[in-house]
Structure 1
Amino acid sequence: MPQPQRIAIVGGGWAGMAAAVALQQQGHHVQVWEASRQWGGRARALDIPAPDGGHWTVDNGQHILIGAYQACLQLMRTVGVETAALQRLPLDLRYADGLGLHLPDWAPPWDAAWGIARARGWHWREKLALLRTAQRWQRQQFQCPASASVADLCQGLPARLLQDFVDPLCISALNLPASAASGQIFLRVLQDGLFSGRGGSNLLIPRTDLSTLFPATAAAWLQQHGARLRLGERVQALTPTTDHGTAWQVEGESMDAVVLATPCAEAARLVQGLQGVPAPLSGRTTAWTNCAQALPHTAIATVYAHTAQGPGLPAPMVALRSQAGAPAQFAF
C-alpha cells in the first residue's frame, strides 16, 4: 500500500474538487485552496437581486452533462448527490418551432439513425450526407489529425447541417465555435455520446443549482472525511523544498505534491513564480508557462430573462437560431 501523501490542491472548481475526492478516497491527506468565497469555479450558483426586492439563486451559465460522463456521475454519487438531481432526456437540439434533431430513447446506433432520418426541416439529401459523414468518422475510429478543427472535419456538409447540428453540438460540448474547436475532442464526444451505449447521448439537465450539484456537496463530504478546506484563500506562491523530506511549501504548509486545478493564467502565474527549481526542470517549467499563457480565454455570456406571465418554453432546453452579430445557442 503506498504511503499516504500530503497533497495540496489549488482551485476549488469541479476539477479541483474531483481531484480532492479521488485522492481522499485513496487515503491521502488533502488540502484544498480556493481563492473565491464559493466552491465551484466556472460552474457554481449565484445570488442575484429579484424584481420583488428579494434574491434568486441562479447559475453562472447553464452547464449540461450527458449520459456518457460516467466518471463524473460516479463522483457525484460518491459524495451523496442523488440521481434525481438531474433530469435525463434524449438528445434534443430542436428549435421552438419543432425543427431540428431529436433522438429517441433507443440503443445506438439506431437512435442516431432514426433521429437523423426523422429530423424535421432537413432535406433527405442533407440527412444522407450526415449519415455518410458519421459512418466515415466511425470507420476512421473517430480519429483525425491533431491540428484539425471541427470545421475541417465537416467540410462538404450542407450549410443547414452545420447550423442545426454541428454548431449547436460543438458549442454545447466544447464551448467553442466549429472554426476554433478541436476536431479530435469533438470526435471523442461523438464517440462517447452516440456510440458508447444506450443513454450515452442523453442530456442531463440539473434540477438544482450547480454548487449543490457537486462542488459544495463535495466540500461537505471532504470535511467529513478529514480533508482541510481553505475557502477565500488565494495561494500566492509555490516554493519547492527538500527540507524534512517534503517537496513543496504552500502558504506555510509542507506538502509532498501539488495539483493545479485553476484557470490557465493562474496556473502560469504560480509556475512562473517558482524559485530554486533544479536546472533540468527550469527549461520545462518555462516552456509549460509559455504554453499556458498563450491559451486564449473566450467568454460566454448568459442572459437571465424574467416574465410574470406567459407559457414558458416548450421543453427544458430549446435551441436558438444564431445570426451574424446576434450569437445565440440555447434557452433553458
Structure 2
Amino acid sequence: MAGRRIVVVGAGWAGLAAAVQAGQRGAQVTVIEMARESGGRARRVLTPAGDTLDNGQHVMIGAYSATLGLMQTVGADIAGGLLRLPLALCQPDGRGLVLPVGAPVPAFLRGVLANRGWRWADKLALLRAAGGWMLGGFRAPPGQSVGQLCANLPAVVQRELIEPLCLAALNTPMAQASAEVFLRVLKDALFTRRGSADLLLPRLPLSALLPDPAWRWLDAAGARRITSQRVQALQPQGGGWLVDGEHFDAVVLACSATEAARLAGAVAPGWAAQAAALRYEPTVPPYLADAGLRLPQPMVALPPGPASPAQFA
C-alpha cells in the first residue's frame, strides 16, 4: 500500500479509522467530509446559544478493543477521557443489574443473583436462558427477532434488562432487532473476557476522544483534509478511480448508506440498491441542566414506559 493514493469519503469514526490504518501502511491519504466537523454521529456540535454539546449520547464498553486500540495509536487520552465502570443498569432507587468485577461468567451469575428488584423465579429464568444461549454457541435461527428469542422470559427481565441492552446496542426495538446480532453482542460483552462489559463513559466532548487526536496524527502523517465538500461522482478508471475528476488508486466509502448508494449506483447497482434499502432508527437526546442535581451514579436507568422504553440519564 506504500505510496498508493487512497481517498476516504467520510470523516466519521469509521472513516478516520480507515484513514489512520492506510496512513500506517504508507499510503498517501485524502479524506473528504461533507460536514464542517469530523466525527459523524459522535462529534461536538455548537448550539445557537453558543454551548458546545455532543451530537447525541454515546457510550462505549470494554469489548470495543479495536476502538480503544485506535485511540491509543493516535495518542488519545483514554484514561482521562473515559470513565470506566462495571456494567450497571440501575434505576435511581438502586434496583437493577450490576456486574461485579471478575471473570465474565461468574460475574454475570453473581450480578443476576444479587439483583434485589427481581424475584428468584425471574433470576433463574434468565440464568436458564443464558445457559441455553451459551450451549448453543450464541446462535439464533435466521430471521428470529430478539422479542421471539426472549418471549418466554419474565416481563420484568425483558423490560429492565433485555430491552435496554437491545436498544443500547442495536438501536432497534426487540420486536424488530435481529436475535443473531443481539446474541453476538451479548457474547462479546458479557461472556468473553474480564472487563468486556465495563461501561466507558465519556468525560470529554466526543470530538476530543477520537476525531481531534486522529486528525493530529493524520496531519503529522501528511494526510490531506477536505471538509464541507460533498463528493459528486465516482467512476473506475484504469485500475483506479476518478473521484470528482481526481485519480486515486483506491476509494473507501465510509459515509452514510444513502451517500454510499448514490456514489456506487453506476458501478455496483446491486450493492447500491441494498445500501439504499437500509432504514435508520432515530434517537432524540434531550439535554437538561440543574446545578443542584446529583445522580446516584454516573448513568441511571429511568423507569420505562410503553412509549419510552430503555431511557437513561
Bin for the TM-score computed over the shorter chain = over 0.9
- What is the CA–CA distance in structure 2 between the aligned matches of 1:152 and 1:249, rounded to whole Å? 47
Amino acid in structure 1 at the alignment position of 2:263: L
- What is the CA–CA distance in structure 1 between the aligned matches of 2:194 and 2:62, rounded to whole Å? 9
Q: Which residue of 2 aligns with 1:301?
A: 284
Q: Which residue of 1 aligns with 2:47?
A: 48
Following superposition, the deviation at residue 154 of structure 1 comes to 0.9
Following superposition, the deviation at residue 83 of structure 1 comes to 2.3
For residue 52 of structure 2, give the secondary structure of its aligned residue in structure 1.
Answer: strand
Q: Which residue of 2 aligns with 1:57?
A: 52
Amino acid in structure 2 at the alignment position of 1:122: W
Identical residues among aligned pairs (%): 49
Following superposition, the deviation at residue 213 of structure 1 comes to 0.5
Conservation of the 8 A alpha-carbon contact between 2:77 and 2:209: no
Q: Which residue of 1 aligns with 2:117?
A: 121
- What is the CA–CA distance in structure 2 between the aligned matches of 1:86 and 1:3, rounded to whole Å? 34
Conservation of the 8 A alpha-carbon contact between 2:164 and 2:309: no
Q: Find out whether 1:76 has 2:84 as its counterpart.
A: no
CA deviations over 1:267-295 (Å, ceiling 9, x no partner): 111112x3xx5xxxxxxx22112111111
Amino acid in structure 1 at the alignment position of 2:153: L
Q: Which residue of 1 aligns with 2:271?
A: 288
Conservation of the 8 A alpha-carbon contact between 1:88 and 1:204: yes
Amino acid in structure 1 at the alignment position of 2:300: V
- What is the CA–CA distance in structure 2 between the aligned matches of 1:253 and 1:212, rounded to whole Å? 31
Q: Which residue of 1 aligns with 2:9?
A: 10
For residue 6 of structure 2, give the secondary structure of its aligned residue in structure 1.
Answer: strand
- What is the CA–CA distance in structure 2 between the aligned matches of 1:10 and 1:226, rounded to whole Å? 17
Q: Which residue of 1 aligns with 2:254?
A: 261
Amino acid in structure 2 at the alignment position of 1:5: R
TM-score by length of 1: 0.91
CA deviations over 1:61-112 (Å, ceiling 9, x no partner): 1111100111110000101112221100000001111111111111211110
Amino acid in structure 2 at the alignment position of 1:160: V
Following superposition, the deviation at residue 211 of structure 1 comes to 0.6
- What is the CA–CA distance in structure 2 between the aligned matches of 1:11 and 1:120, rounded to whole Å? 46
Q: Find out whether 1:251 has 2:244 as its counterpart.
A: yes
Conservation of the 8 A alpha-carbon contact between 1:171 and 1:329: no
Q: Which residue of 2 aligns with 1:33?
A: 32
CA deviations over 1:35-59 (Å, ceiling 9, x no partner): 0000000111112255xxxx32211
Q: Which residue of 1 aligns with 2:164?
A: 168
Q: Which residue of 2 aligns with 1:280?
A: none
Amino acid in structure 2 at the alignment position of 1:7: I
Amino acid in structure 1 at the alignment position of 2:18: A
Amino acid in structure 1 at the alignment position of 2:245: G
Conservation of the 8 A alpha-carbon contact between 2:163 and 2:310: no
Conservation of the 8 A alpha-carbon contact between 1:130 and 1:157: yes
- What is the CA–CA distance in structure 1 between the aligned matches of 2:245 and 2:7, rounded to whole Å? 12
Amino acid in structure 2 at the alignment position of 1:267: A
Q: Which residue of 2 aligns with 1:19?
A: 18
Greater CA deviation, 69-78 or 21-30?
A: 21-30
CA deviations over 1:148-188 (Å, ceiling 9, x no partner): 22112212001100000001111111111111222122111
Q: Indicate which of 202, 212, 215 corresponds to 2:208.
A: 212
How many pairs does the alignment contain?
312
Amino acid in structure 2 at the alignment position of 1:269: R
- What is the CA–CA distance in structure 1 between the aligned matches of 2:260 and 2:236, rounded to whole Å? 15
Q: Which residue of 1 aligns with 2:83?
A: 87
- What is the CA–CA distance in structure 2 between the aligned matches of 1:224 and 1:3, rounded to whole Å? 16
Unaligned runs of 5+ in 1: 278-284
Following superposition, the deviation at residue 257 of structure 1 comes to 1.1
Conservation of the 8 A alpha-carbon contact between 2:163 and 2:309: no
Greater CA deviation, 85-94 or 299-308?
A: 299-308
CA deviations over 1:291-319 (Å, ceiling 9, x no partner): 111111211001011124x2321111001
Amino acid in structure 2 at the alignment position of 1:289: A
TM-score by length of 2: 0.96
Conservation of the 8 A alpha-carbon contact between 2:102 and 2:194: yes
Q: Indicate which of 98, 120, 126 corresponds to 1:102.
A: 98
Conservation of the 8 A alpha-carbon contact between 1:170 and 1:186: yes
- What is the CA–CA distance in structure 2 between the aligned matches of 1:125 and 1:119, rounded to whole Å? 12
Unaligned runs of 5+ in 2: none
- What is the CA–CA distance in structure 1 between the aligned matches of 2:144 and 2:25, rounded to whole Å? 38
Following superposition, the deviation at residue 190 of structure 1 comes to 1.0
Following superposition, the deviation at residue 3 of structure 1 comes to 4.9
Amino acid in structure 2 at the alignment position of 1:224: A
Q: Indicate which of 193, 197, 201 corresponds to 1:201.
A: 197
- What is the CA–CA distance in structure 2 between the aligned matches of 1:260 and 1:163, rounded to whole Å? 38
Superposition pairs for residues 266-285 of structure 1, below 5 Å?
Answer: 266-272=259-265, 274=266, 277=267, 285=268
Q: Which residue of 1 aligns with 2:188?
A: 192
